[in-house]
């Protein structure tokens, strides 16, 4: 079991206390912020679950969590664990399951932003490779503003093998790529069981990951077909792609 760490940010802490209060150990609150309505609600939830509450000055909170972006509250709690692989077996039985696959996304801020968008766009689970990928750190939780607690995130040893397994279950796998064989994302059919793969900003999807895609898509940009796509942050591109998938599935 991973050792406890310091979570920070109002939304991240509130979600943690709501979803897994037994993992919370100690709450640290900046005295000047304890009358804030959101922090007061967090303190009430902490008290109701037997979590000790201590006051700490702003600089101390920054020292505890390693960031000045704590918003006046820090929670010492057990780390967020990746979901068990068995969760995926249950999810892919849903005839309209939607999975987001992040291939080698190593930046914690990008992962957190992707999780936030995934929850907003109805994704059922996020899949990441075990190696060369960001962990579920407090920074991820802060950027995700609570979403990290609301969606299963799986870390798989062999991503290609996992893609093969979900394809056997009828999941159609789309990959995003700067490739002449890719079609505009608006022309793809995202009905049914769908998995969307987003690759790293620098290199995109790995070759073996690409081989497991049923179809490649790209986000059309103004001007040259591929000219500006590389300038998109991966979390921005993920949001745009998931929005189109969600739009189609709402029709």
The 10s digit of each residue's pLDDT in 131-172 is 989 999 999 999 999 999 999 999 999 999 999 999 999 999
Global confidence as pTM: 0.92
> Can you tell me the mean pLDDT for 92-119?
96
| Cβ-proximal residues to 201 (8 Å cutoff; 6+ apart), any chain | 110, 233, 234
Domains and CATH numbers, the chain: 5-77 (3.30.1330.30), 86-250 (3.40.1280.10)
Q: Residue 34 above 80 pLDDT?
A: no
Q: Residue 1 above 80 pLDDT?
A: no
The 10s digit of each residue's pLDDT in 56-65 is 999 999 999 9
The 10s digit of each residue's pLDDT in 22-32 is 999 999 999 97
Nearest-CA neighbor of 43 among 28, 22, 58, 56? 28
Residue 231 pLDDT class (50, 70, 90 cuts) = low
Cα-based distances in Å from 245 to 150, 193, 232: 20, 11, 18
The 10s digit of each residue's pLDDT in 207-228 is 899 999 999 999 988 755 544 4
């Amino acid at each position: 079991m991973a050792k406890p760490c310091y979570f920070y940010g109002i939304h991240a802490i509130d979600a943690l206390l709501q979803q897994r209060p037994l993992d919370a150990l100690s709450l640290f609150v900046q005295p000047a912020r304890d009358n804030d309505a959101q922090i007061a609600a967090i303190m009430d939830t902490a008290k109701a679950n037997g979590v000790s509450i201590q006051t700490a000055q702003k600089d101390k909170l920054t020292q505890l969590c390693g960031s000045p972006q704590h918003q006046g509250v820090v929670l010492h709690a057990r780390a967020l664990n990746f979901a068990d692989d068995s969760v995926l077996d249950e999810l892919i039985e849903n005839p309209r399951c939607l999975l987001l696959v992040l291939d080698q996304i190593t930046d914690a801020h990008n992962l957190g932003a992707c999780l936030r968008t995934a929850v907003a766009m109805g994704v059922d689970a996020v899949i990441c490779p075990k190696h060369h990928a960001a962990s579920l750190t407090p920074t991820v939780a802060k950027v995700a503003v609570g979403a990290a607690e609301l969606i299963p995130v799986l870390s798989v040893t062999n991503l290609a093998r996992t893609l093969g397994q979900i394809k056997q279950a009828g999941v159609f796998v789309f990959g995003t790529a700067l490739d002449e064989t890719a079609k505009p994302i608006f022309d793809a059919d995202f009905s049914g069981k769908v998995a969307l793969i987003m690759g790293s900003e620098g290199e995109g999807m790995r070759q073996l990951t690409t081989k497991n895609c049923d179809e490649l898509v790209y986000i059309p940009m103004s001007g040259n077909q591929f000219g500006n796509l590389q300038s998109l942050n991966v979390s921005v591109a993920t949001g745009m792609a998931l929005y189109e998938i969600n739009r189609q599935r709402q029709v």
